[in-house]
Amino acid sequence: MKKIKILLVDDHKLVRNGIRYTLETGHTSSKIDRIDEAVNGDDAIRLCTVNKYDVIFMDINMPDKDGITATKEILSIDKFTRIIALSMFDEEFEIRAMINAGAVGYLLKNTGTEILDEAISTILKGGKYYSNDVAIKLMNPNNEAISTGPKILRQNLNTESSVLTKRETEVLTLIASEFTNEEIAEKLKLSKRTVDSHRQNIINKLGVKNTAGLIKYAFKVGII
Q: Using one digit for the tens of pLDDT, what is the confidence trace for 99-116?
A: 989 999 999 888 888 889
User: Could you tell me which of 13, 14, 18 has the C-alpha nearest to residue 40?
Assistant: 13
**Which pLDDT band holds residue 208 (cuts at 50, 70, 90)?**
confident
Per the CB < 8 A criterion, the answer to whether 223 and 150 are in contact is no
Which domains can be identified in the chain, with CATH numbers?
4-139 (3.40.50.2300), 143-221 (3.40.50.2300)
174-197 residue pLDDT tens:
887 778 889 899 989 999 999 999
Instruction: Kindly report, residue by residue over 43-74, the tens digit of the pLDDT.
Output: 999 999 999 999 999 999 888 889 999 999 99
d(CA 105, CA 122): 9
The region of weakest confidence among 40-44, 67-71, 211-215 is 211-215
pLDDT in tens, 111-163: 888 889 999 999 999 998 988 777 766 655 444 333 333 333 333 444 443 47
Q: What pLDDT does 137 receive?
A: 66
- Letter for the amino acid at 97? A
pLDDT at 41 over 90: yes
Q: Look up residue 163 and give its amino acid.
A: V
**Cα 192 from Cα 184, distance rounded (Å):** 8
CA distance 63 to 40: 7
Cα–Cα distance, 106 to 123 (Å, whole number): 11
Residue 217 scores a pLDDT above 70: yes
**Residues 115/106, Cβ–Cβ less than 8 Å:** no
Whether 35 and 8 have beta carbons less than 8 Å apart is answered as yes
- Residue 197: partners with Cβ closer than 8 Å, 6 or more residues away: none
pLDDT at res. 149 = 34
